[in-house]
Structure 1
């Protein structure tokens, strides 16, 4: 993010009003813009120079060039480390990275082996995305990463296989209802494992606290209460993001396969599935990410007593602190 570029002058968080939901949606549309995947290292170097010139007072006002530079950094660079996030795990690549995996999970009549494979693939991707975009106050060890990965994969596979065996045994529902329930099994598995995944991958934040900063950007201390908010909101946004993507396409495709797609080849049906999933995902992602601000403010009085009496570099008592929620 552009906030990783240092300087005495504070950056505007966005060209949009982030105190409103619609402003955050418009901001998130920029962060998840897939054209940002074309950003090169040279582009990032130039973007950092432009943002740095603003932070040091050389650039006196925001310009279209400044906003484009900030957009490139916000969509490509981690706000805590200043390092470039690996391309497949950036928010701007989220829909594309998930497209094939989601299509695989929503394929009807997968069988146990197919279900296990696609749930494993989905949770592997989720672990990578959660790890790459987490708050970096406390980096996770390799051992913790492997352990949490194994638990998340086990949870998703267990739920998916268990529900796949349960749905056919439902005798008091119509065949059509049973068909729809079967198509929604991946949703239940993804939601369950998604929540587990976020809390496991970011458990260190809750146990040790995350960094909170004063309005000048100086670190005030570590807060476990802020960490609970950050991780909890991220888990909820994952569920809300998964809901339309995992629910709407199966319901639409059930209808299409009985009408327009009836008798069509496997290739045509696959392309139709990918199109419906992609359209739903591109639409839903900004709305889900925008539910909660990424950089949040909270009154210091609501956090631990050990940091409530902190003062800023000018000796003024700090009333408000800010933290990075992560994505």
Structure 2
């Protein structure tokens, strides 16, 4: 992200009003825009130079070109290392990759083999994204990454297979309810493994703390814990909204809350 580039002048957080729901939606859409995957190396370098010029005071104010450059950098560059995140694991690829995995996990009649394969695929993707985008001020060893991956895969597969075996045996439940519960099995498996995945892959952020800006040398354990908690909650909410109710539901609920 732009914070990793040289210069002391801070860029505006977003061209949208982050105090409003729709402002945050538009900002998230900017970062996860799949078109950013098509940006060439030269395009990225040009965007980095433009951002650096602004931060060094060579450019007086934000412009459409500068906003686009910020979008490119935020969607591509890791804020701690200043290097480009590996292509399949950038946030700009998040929607496309998860769309495929979600469709696979929700396919009816997968059976044991299909359930295992899609859960393993999902957790492999989660671990890769978590590792690629994790806070690099608290690095994780390779052995810890492998351990976290195996535990997350084991948790998701155990929950999925266990619930798939349990739901059909429920006696006091109607067939329609069983069908609904069966559709919720992937959610339970992914949510539980996702929470475990976050704590395992990014546990050092809780134990050691994370760098807090602009005080670059400070490490805050409270910030690390807050970051972990928010990640778990937001991922569970995202699974509920996108996998089962559709992206519009959260928007409606938010609007109703504001109106009340």
Matched residue, 2:173: 173
Matched residue, 2:127: 127
Contact kept in structure 1, 2:135 and 2:210, CA below 8 Å: yes
Matched, 1:42 2:39: no
Alpha-carbon distance in structure 2 between the residues aligned to 1:247 and 1:157: 20
Give 3-state SS (helix, strand or coil) of 1:184's partner: helix
Cα gap change, 1:222 to 1:83, in 2 (>3 Å):
same
Counterpart of 1:226 (choices 223, 227, 231) is 223
Alpha-carbon distance in structure 2 between the residues aligned to 1:286 and 1:243: 13
Give 3-state SS (helix, strand or coil) of 2:212's partner: strand
Alpha-carbon distance in structure 1 between the residues aligned to 2:219 and 2:251: 29
Q: What does the per-residue CA deviation read over 1:114-151, in whole Å, with 9 as the maximum and x for residues that have no partner? A: 11111011011011111111111111110000000010
Cα gap change, 1:121 to 1:148, in 2 (>3 Å):
same
Matched residue, 1:238: 235
Q: TM-score with structure 2 length normalisation? A: 0.92
Structure-to-structure mapping, 1:32-111, within 5 angstroms:
32-111=32-111
Matched, 1:22 2:19: no
Deviates more, 1:153-162 or 1:236-245: 236-245
* Greater share of residues in strand: 1
Contact kept in structure 2, 1:2 and 1:70, CA below 8 Å: yes
Alpha-carbon distance in structure 1 between the residues aligned to 2:250 and 2:155: 24
Alpha-carbon distance in structure 2 between the residues aligned to 1:173 and 1:8: 62
Q: What does the per-residue CA deviation read over 1:213-236, in whole Å, with 9 as the maximum and x for residues that have no partner? A: 2xxx34141111110001111111
Alpha-carbon distance in structure 2 between the residues aligned to 1:183 and 1:212: 41
Q: What does the per-residue CA deviation read over 1:87-133, in whole Å, with 9 as the maximum and x for residues that have no partner? A: 21111111111122211111111111111111011011011111111
Give 3-state SS (helix, strand or coil) of 2:84's partner: coil
Alpha-carbon distance in structure 2 between the residues aligned to 1:39 and 1:218: 32
Contact kept in structure 2, 1:28 and 1:286, CA below 8 Å: no
Cα gap change, 1:220 to 1:122, in 2 (>3 Å):
same
Counterpart of 2:244 (choices 242, 247, 269) is 247
Task: Give the C-alpha shift of residue 17 in structure 1.
Answer: 2.4
Alpha-carbon distance in structure 2 between the residues aligned to 1:42 and 1:218: 32
Aligned length: 252
Q: Which runs of 5+ in 1 are unaligned?
A: 249-279, 288-327
Alpha-carbon distance in structure 2 between the residues aligned to 1:75 and 1:124: 21
Alpha-carbon distance in structure 2 between the residues aligned to 1:57 and 1:21: 32
Matched residue, 2:147: 147
Give 3-state SS (helix, strand or coil) of 1:108's partner: coil
Matched residue, 2:115: 115
Q: TM-score with structure 1 length normalisation? A: 0.74
Whose Rg is larger? 1
Task: Give the C-alpha shift of residue 284 in structure 1.
Answer: 8.3
Task: Give the C-alpha shift of residue 286 in structure 1.
Answer: 10
Q: What does the per-residue CA deviation read over 1:196-221, in whole Å, with 9 as the maximum and x for residues that have no partner? A: 111111001101111112xxx34141
**Greater relative contact order, per chain length (Cα 8 Å cut-off, separation 6+):** 1
Contact kept in structure 2, 1:5 and 1:82, CA below 8 Å: yes
